[in-house]
Structure 1
Amino acid sequence: MEKQEGKIGFTKFAESWNGRLAMLGIAIGFATELMTGKGILEQLGLM
């Protein structure tokens, strides 16, 4: 029987995707801030 690597929890696979998605979210946040002239919190109505 072959050992299968899990894709749930703190695995290298999960952490790689977590980092990639976090970088994408930050880039999108900066881009929308440049386009609208408002910060992220202002866009969400929190300030």
Structure 2
Amino acid sequence: MSFLLPILSNRWMWGFSNGAETWNGRLAMLSFFIIFCFEYIYSFPVLNFLGFF
């Protein structure tokens, strides 16, 4: 049964769980990377592009 441990430990659970925190961190890092690349390539702030400033 030890071969099921990685599958069961990464199972999706609703609410504040270790899986939710892991996915939240991964998506936050991905979004910061995408915003950084956008601003680097176009030399234009994302907030200006979205119309906030």
TM-score bucket of the superposed structures, by smaller chain: 0.7 to 0.9
User: Which residues in structure 2 correspond to 1:28-39 (within 5 Å)?
Assistant: 28-39=34-45
- Is the helix fraction higher in 1 or 2? 2
Shift of 1:37: 0.7
Q: TM-score, normalised by structure 1?
A: 0.81
The one-letter code of the counterpart of 1:42 is: N
Q: Which amino acid aligns with 1:33?
A: E
Name the % identity: 42
Structure 1's consecutive aligned runs of 4 or more residues displaced over 4 angstroms after TM superposition are none
Gaps of 5+ in 1: none
| Count of equivalent residues | 43
Question: Any unmatched runs of 5+ in structure 2?
Answer: 1-10
2:19 maps to 1:13: yes
**Shift in Å at residue 9 of structure 1?**
0.7
TM-score between both structures, scaled by the size of structure 2: 0.73
